[in-house]
Amino acid sequence: MSVPVLTIDGPSGSGKGTVARLLAQRLGWHLLDSGALYRIAALAAQRRDVDLNDAAGVAELAAHLNVRFVGEDETCVLLDGEDVSLLIRSEQAGEAASVVAAHPVVRDALLDFQRRFAQAPGLVADGRDMGTVVFPDAQVKIYLDASAEVRGERRYKQLNEKGLGANLAQIIHDIRRRDERDMQRPVAPLKAADDAHRIETSFLTVEQVLTECLTLMGV
């Protein structure tokens, strides 16, 4: 029997990380933060002096990543046993992730690994191509969006809360550049699946988005 999968895609700062985590908690399902995998692939490359533009070199590392998501809500990320949860959250790590994520061979190297997260009783998968490429047969697909300004402000707040200092104008600028790279790349570009439900979150609270997602799932 196939395991139920809920995909949540959208650009950086659309709220998908928070919404995915809370939905997984409410449903008692597993969580896949696919962005963390690209962030970790970039970190592993930087640590081994592999150029982020060396697609084959990064793919080789990505294929053999020793990554585990642990903790009650599966949000603590271990790379070779080291907790890198905070390290991979910086804007620089996001930017590096977006560079390696544009290589088709890197995406291929992570595909099966991501699909193995679909374990009973269910999976909430958060990313850019969850509904289009990784889980095209997912039961429910959601695409969250918000304006670049709102997303920048959310990211600014998050980074400050984590003690990672930030500049709002710079963040909005970076978000736009990252959106463009993620949307323009030829393989698995950021876009809503044809059968995804789009939710514009700019003027919604997290609770309102959650309620809308649960309603779409018939919960």
Residues that bind ligand C5P (CB under 6 A): 12, 34-35, 38-39, 94, 97-98, 101, 127-129, 178, 182
- Chain centroid to CA 44: 17
| Burial of 198 from C-beta contacts in 10 A (0-12 / 13-18 / 19+) | exposed
* Cβ contact 142:134 at 8 Å: no
Closest distance of CB 115 from ligand C5P, Å: 12
User: Which is closer to ligand C5P, CB of 57 or CB of 174?
Assistant: 174
User: Which is closer to ligand C5P, CB of 29 or CB of 38?
Assistant: 38
Closest distance of CB 98 from ligand C5P, Å: 3
Closest distance of CB 209 from ligand C5P, Å: 16
C-alpha to C-alpha distances, 65 to 5, 40, 95, 135, nearest whole angstrom: 24, 8, 19, 21
Closest distance of CB 46 from ligand C5P, Å: 15
User: Which is closer to ligand C5P, CB of 23 or CB of 97?
Assistant: 97
Q: For 76, which DSSP code?
A: E
Closest distance of CB 47 from ligand C5P, Å: 18
User: Which residue's Cβ has the minimum distance to ligand C5P?
Assistant: 35
* Cβ contact 19:210 at 8 Å: yes
Residue in the structure block whose two tokens are 């962005």: 35
User: Which is closer to ligand C5P, CB of 141 or CB of 178?
Assistant: 178
* Cβ contact 166:91 at 8 Å: yes
User: Which is closer to ligand C5P, CB of 33 or CB of 213?
Assistant: 33
